[in-house]
A and B are shown apart, each in its own frame.
Chain A
Amino acid sequence: MDFAGYDPAGGRQSPGIVSAKIVVAGGFGVGKTTLVGSISEITPLTTEAVMTAAGVGIDDPSKVPGKETTTVAMDFGRITMAQDLILYLFGTPGQTRFWFMWDEIIRGAVGAAVLVDTRRITDAFAPLDYFENRNLPYVVALNRFDGAPQYELEEVREALAISPQVPLVMTDARHRESVKQVLVTVVEHAMLRLQAEHGRGSPTPVG
């Protein structure tokens, strides 16, 4: 479906500047920051959240011997679309021990793209599992690495047990046009989901 001419009746005047966010998820080293950097108008920034050892049970204390605190870093980028509209792209921390940070990152997001590296396809199970259990529209993007095995999209869908409703696309995280297409797919999918929910009369706010 094409939403290019979508113009809801009423044209509500929204005051001030509105920001939206798309989440880029995936395992460690899958190319999340590369993807964000390919399209962001700023060099991806890093923000850090400091967690104390009181966060145990989630964190693995053996990874930070003798340390009281640990730092979770997330990278993000920005696209200023209009004077009053900014899109942010947030990468999730790669390590699965930081799942709790993902909850904060996805809160209020438009949708997510889960990046998959075909050389380490099993790394995708945990992130995919996470999104299957959240009410956030997401798409899966296979990041094409040089020299990586080339699979058909449907082979990958089957291997990762991705539901037929979830869009699956090929991408090259280094290329702006390719990344742009992934983000367009995320937003289109979010619109379809929202319309479907609206049609069923059961709006389900995210977060």
Chain B
Amino acid sequence: MDQRRADPRGELVRPYAVTRGRTEPRQDIALEAVLTASPTQVAESRFAGHDKHRIATVCEGRAQSLAEIAAYTRMPLGVARVLVADMVAESLLTLHTAAPAEGFEERMELLGRVLSGLRRL
């Protein structure tokens, strides 16, 4: 899980205590990927530490993206990403799908929905 990938940007070290020094998330989560927490998940997150509980609370009753979680909790993005990936693995958060990257029909359908959503604004 802690496998290091060769990063073409050079070595980026984010030595954050809250992630216990880990800089690589268990799972790559897109900035815009949305997460939700049920009341049960929020309650269970109390036992997972202060930071994870804050994250779960932010996602209770309203889907929030990774970027929003980082902004509302004032955590740097890299830290939020590690914690959110942990919480998804621990079933403390539910990860929803970001935009489909493949499949003509699926991508066209999404674009069509975004377009009509914009026109309705």
Task: Give the interface of A toward B (CB within 8 A).
Answer: 3-4, 6-10, 12, 14-21, 39, 45-52, 54-58, 71, 74, 76, 78-79, 81-82, 85-88, 90, 100, 104-105, 107-108, 110, 176, 180, 183-184, 187-188, 190-191, 194-195, 198, 203, 205-207
Contact = CB atoms under 8 A, between A and B. Distances in A.
A190 B111 contact: yes
Nearest to A54: B11
A108 B101 contact: yes
A47 B65 CA distance: 11
A194 B107 contact: yes
Nearest to A176: B121
A85 to B, nearest CB: 6
Contact of A14 (B34, B97, B117): B97
B113 A81 contact: yes
Interface in B26-83: 30-34, 36, 63, 65, 67-68, 70-72, 76-78
A10 B114 CA distance: 18
A111 B117 CA distance: 16
Interface residues of B, number: 49
Q: Which of B9, B12, B36: most chain A CB closer than 10 A?
A: B9
A108 B99 contact: yes
Given A105-B31, A110-B114, A191-B108, 14 more contacts: A3-B112, A6-B112, A9-B105, A18-B110, A47-B71, A76-B31, A76-B67, A81-B120, A108-B32, A108-B99, A184-B115, A187-B111, A194-B104, A194-B111
Contact of B13 (A10, A54, A100, A183): A54
A181 B96 CA distance: 28
B10 A18 contact: no
Given A20-B110, A82-B117, A88 B65 contact: yes
Nearest to A59: B10
Contact of A104 (B10, B31, B70): B31
Contacts of B36: 17
Interface of B: 9-15, 30-34, 36, 63, 65, 67-68, 70-72, 76-78, 94, 96-102, 104-121
Nearest to B11: A54
Most buried by A among B77, B94, B101: B77
Given A45-B67, A47-B67, A108-B32, A205 B108 contact: no
Which of B12, B31, B33, B99 gathers most chain A CB within 10 Å?
B31
A17 B34 contact: yes
A147 B97 CA distance: 44
B112 A191 contact: yes
A187 B118 contact: yes
Contacts of B30: 21, 107-108
Q: List 7 tightest A-B contacts by C-beta distance, closest first.
A: A81-B117, A45-B71, A16-B96, A6-B112, A17-B96, A21-B32, A47-B70
